[in-house]
Amino acid sequence: MELLIQTCQFCGSKGVRNLLVRKHGEEDKVYVQCKRCRALVARYIIAHRGYYHHGKGFESYLRGLNRGGEVISPKDLREAFQKVEDYCIEEFEKITSQLEEESDNSTTHN
């Protein structure tokens, strides 16, 4: 797994903020802005069913699907939400433990 920390290509800062943009009839987008120099760093388009807001629960997930105009049975919705939640938690744990390992290694070598 390749893991990158978003860095501003103009000033080298790792301090960025995500601006979530929702427009009717368009995919949700995230603009990443550098907090130091204010430049645009990147833009992401959120995939269909791609947004998961941790700790916000099932209703938040439903609102996201609703914005996409999706019709799906209640049972399937529950299962889909549970899968997304489990997957995100599991992957985030892998990511943070990989980051910790990498920072331990760089401390040892320096």
Which positions touch Zn ion (CB under 5 A)? Answer: 8, 10-11, 13, 34, 36-37, 39
C-beta neighbour count of 97 within 10 angstroms: 10
Amino acid at 69: G
CB of 11 to Zn ion, least distance (A): 3
**From the CB of 3, what's the least distance to Zn ion, in Å?**
21
What's the N-to-C CA distance of the chain in angstroms? 24
| CA angle, residues 87, 8, 1, in degrees to nearest 5 | 30
Min. distance of Cβ 95 from Zn ion in angstroms?
23
3-state secondary structure of 78: helix
User: Smaller CB distance to Zn ion: residue 36 or 49?
Assistant: 36
Rounded to whole angstroms, the Cα distance separating 12 from 31 reads 17
Nearer to Zn ion, 18 or 105 (CB): 18
Residue (11 or 42) nearer to Zn ion, CB: 11
